[in-house]
Amino acid sequence: MFEYYTETLEKLKENSHFRNIKNFSRKDEKYIYIDDKKFINLSSNNYLGFADNKQITEEFLEFAGDKYSFGSASARLLTGTLPLYKELEKLISDLFHKENTLLFNSGYHANVGINSSITSRGDVIFSDKLNHASIIDGMRLSESKFFRYPHNNMQALEKLLIRERKNFKNAVIVSESVFSMDGDIADIQKLVELKEKYNCMLILDEAHAFGVFGQNGLGVTETLDLTDKIDLIIGTFGKSIGSMGAFAVGNKSIIDYLINKARSFIFSTALPPVNIAFSKWIIENKLPYTFDKRMNMLKIGQKAGSQSHIIPLIIGGNKETIDTCKILYNNGYFTLPIRPPTVPEGTSRIRISLTTDINEKELFNAISLAKQNR
């Protein structure tokens, strides 16, 4: 039996697919340290620098004192809901001008729970081909059928809707807003148009856009003034907010339905109160003052040819991508090779993600170093 594992691992190594867990030390938000060597971190989702920020941590601890415990000890539907959890849910609902919010333990929990339960037998989900693994895993667990349309291809989606929509009772379209590995942005206006025309529900995962886009940091839908047109918006706290957890915000009936049906919500211990308190504290006290920094970060990303703060340097082969990371590493930049199955075969890449502390010169220097190896 164990031979199966060793053989599989050998095959992964042969194809440069093998992954292992590395040890890092991160003393502050911009740099990463490996064996006490300092690197500019171009692989972080800590977009606004709230995680690993000594001043922020100290300020929060001063505010929090010993008010919040480190374990919730129970699922939300049992004894795991303190008033604090409802307060954070209300804060999110109010920000989005929607009826209700449900917290999940992570974006992964949210997408698996939602996409597995939002439809059932006789229903259908239409999903962008490059949607995150958590969306795919959720759909795989669903009793409904699902179709994956070519990335951001609205014509292909419409063709699919024309062909298939009539064969199913309820239908859902699901997309990311800022795509996590490509940094491009879904055609949300068109998605809204299609969902209305073909009587579907629209779910948008703003994991990488929440805290970055929009006047109040609510995401791309805020920038486009389309928040009210999206049936369910997903956001995460593990990226821009520098915390952990996620939310789904929508109308009361959808949220009540998820409370009763989303198994990743029902059957898991709630996040610790101290973590909920930190997310809430950041959103109330820090996020409102980030507008200029966020817009500057997006401007730098756009100068590098992206639509967002995520810049993919597509290299192709696994080995070449790893080699390019090594060159960057030797020049003081920390990046990670992104390989299949995270991205399609033949599109291995370095995914540069900006944070508000990284300047234009640092980014373009890294890009030109990477290009020298292509």
Which residues lie near ligand PLP (CB under 6 A)? 106-108, 111, 132, 134, 176, 180, 205, 207-208, 236, 238, 246
Nearer to ligand PLP, 47 or 198 (CB): 47
Task: Write out the DSSP string of 75-104.
Answer: BTTTT---HHHHHHHHHHHHHHT-SEEEEE
Q: Minimum Å distance from CB 284 to ligand PLP?
A: 20
CA 262 to chain centre: 19
Rounded to the nearest whole angstrom, what is the least distance from the CB of residue 205 to ligand PLP in the complex? 5
Instruction: Pick the closer one to ligand PLP by CB: 198 or 287.
Output: 287
State the residue number with the nearest CB to ligand PLP: 107
Question: Could you identify the residue written with the tokens 């198994």?
Answer: 263
Phi, psi of 134 (to 5 degrees): -65, -30
- The number of beta carbons lying within 10 Å of the beta carbon of residue 4 is 8
Task: Name which of 85 and 198 has its Cβ closer to ligand PLP.
Answer: 85
Please say whether the beta carbons of 174 and 205 come within 8 A: yes
Q: Which two tokens stand for residue 58?
A: 């100290």
Q: Which two tokens stand for residue 62?
A: 């001063």
Let me know how many helices (H) and strands (E) the chain has, helices first.
14, 13
Nearer to ligand PLP, 198 or 277 (CB): 277
The H or E element that residue 373 is part of is: none
Question: Please, are residues 234 and 172 in contact by the beta-carbon 8 Å criterion?
Answer: no
- State the nearest-atom distance from the C-beta of 41 to ligand PLP, in Å: 16
**C-alpha–C-alpha distance, residues 74 and 62, integer Å:** 27
* Nearest residue (CB) to ligand PLP, 198 versus 208: 208
Rounded least distance, CB 177 to ligand PLP, Å: 9
Question: Least distance from C-beta 340 to ligand PLP, angstroms?
Answer: 16
Question: Which of residues 107 and 337 has its CB atom nearest to ligand PLP in the complex?
Answer: 107
Q: How far is the CB of 292 from ligand PLP (least distance, A)?
A: 25
CB 234 within 8 A of CB 79: no
